[in-house]
Amino acid sequence: MIDRERRREVLAKYRPERTWLGEPMLGGWYTEEEIEAAVEAIRSSMDWLTGFGWPDDPTVVRFEREFAEYCGTEYCISINGAGTGLDMAVRCLGLEPGDEVIVPAINFVGSSLAVIGQGGKVVFCEVDPKTLCADPEDVERRMTSRTRAIIVTHMNGISADMDALLEVAERHPHPKHGPPKVIGDAARACGGEYKGTKIGKKGWMNVFSFHTMKNMTTLGEGGAITTDDPEVAKKLKSYRQFGWAAESWGTNYKMTKVQAAVGSVQRRRLDEMIERRRQGARERTEMLRGLPELILPEEPPGYKHTYYLYTILVQPEWAGEKRDRLLQILREEYKVDCVVANRPVYEVHPFIRRHAEGQHLPLSEELGRRLFCPPTHPLMTHEQNEYICAAIVEAVERVREER
């Protein structure tokens, strides 16, 4: 842990001019190569017989091929965002009245809204406190003859235990549709790994986000879905382009040619950006290690964490008021604004709450009062990281003395 003398020196010397956000507004960074790729895509579209093309534009097709190869899948379908992708994934299930989909309660709201929007019933599950990903044992307890799918979030940059979840699904086949599908929400985990595979390979499909905050970005919005299922790929392509490919319902969910051009560059640079995140996380862990009030993030054997967020838990006795006081000190006195990612979705979204009547997940609710994520970014310097750690240690000691 960073010692007292060094903390005081760092805090006196280095202070942000403006507040640092727990989830920065630009997740990676651009080089001149991305800018040149965007400009070239625009210039090549200026012929009035060419324009910006369709989903089969060579620039889009190239990006999809490259991203599929990166994830190790047969197919990648580029889309305009991960929320869209979750809607599309759930639509592929063809849910019927009474069908259930299991979703972790500690989560972003997108997967729950996708299930509700397609007429399904959300069944919330607990998470493993070490990873904040769906707990396979708890998922199994919640399986019924009406379970059609398990949507698991690769939370804050680390993969869910996909092998265990796939085994759970195989043990509980639906009477009509067979084993429930396992769908990964990889919005925060692009570039991560699980047991020798890239996140995006395991499961029926995985949904990625290239939103401005994410590990790689395509001009503010964008996303992709990876799968090895040819029928699913056909459906997804049809949904994103008004239903033509499969003579089905569809609308406009496409990524643009300019986004795809930038995405190809970002994809090539992704591992470099992830490694910088991981290096910053390793340094942070060393500087915070040994502080008894905090539980630092873990990386189980066989996993590669992207550290989209660096998730810390306070000890159970600090849940709620003391955690909130810690965050207040960091924000108001040190300009370090931590994000709580995430509380149970039914606590924060009234629409979801109305569709979760009677569901109460005590572990998730406790974790939502204990977790916090300080700012992290691949371009963060050692000095900036050290400042954040010094501020955290000072704030913890302040809260400890206030007891």
- Tens of pLDDT, residue by residue over 141-172, are 999 999 999 999 999 999 999 999 999 999 99
pTM: 0.97
- The answer to whether the CB of 217 falls within 8 A of the CB of 266 is yes
Q: What is the mean pLDDT of the chain?
A: 97
Q: Residue 19 has what pLDDT?
A: 95
In this prediction, residue 403 has a pLDDT band, given cuts at 50, 70 and 90, of low
58-99 pLDDT, tens per residue? 999 999 999 999 999 999 999 999 999 999 999 999 999 999
Domain ranges for the chain, please list them.
4-24+270-402, 32-266
272-290 tens-digit pLDDT: 999 999 999 999 999 999 9
Instruction: Return the CATH number of the domain spanning residue range 32-266.
Output: 3.40.640.10
Listed in sequence order, the residues at least 6 apart from 257 whose beta carbon sits closer than 8 Å to its beta carbon are 41, 45, 52, 53, 57, 59, 60
The β-bridge partners of 304 are 193
pLDDT digits 0-9 by tens, 185-235: 999 999 999 999 999 999 999 999 999 999 999 999 999 999 999 999 999
CA distances from 90 to 105, 114, 115, 150, 232 (A): 17, 6, 6, 10, 11
CATH architecture of 4-24+270-402: Alpha-Beta Complex (3.90)
**Ramachandran quadrant class, 132 (left: phi over 0; alpha: psi -120 to 50; beta: rest):** left
Query: Which regions of 310-398 does DSSP assign to beta strands (E)?
Result: 312-314, 336-337, 371-372
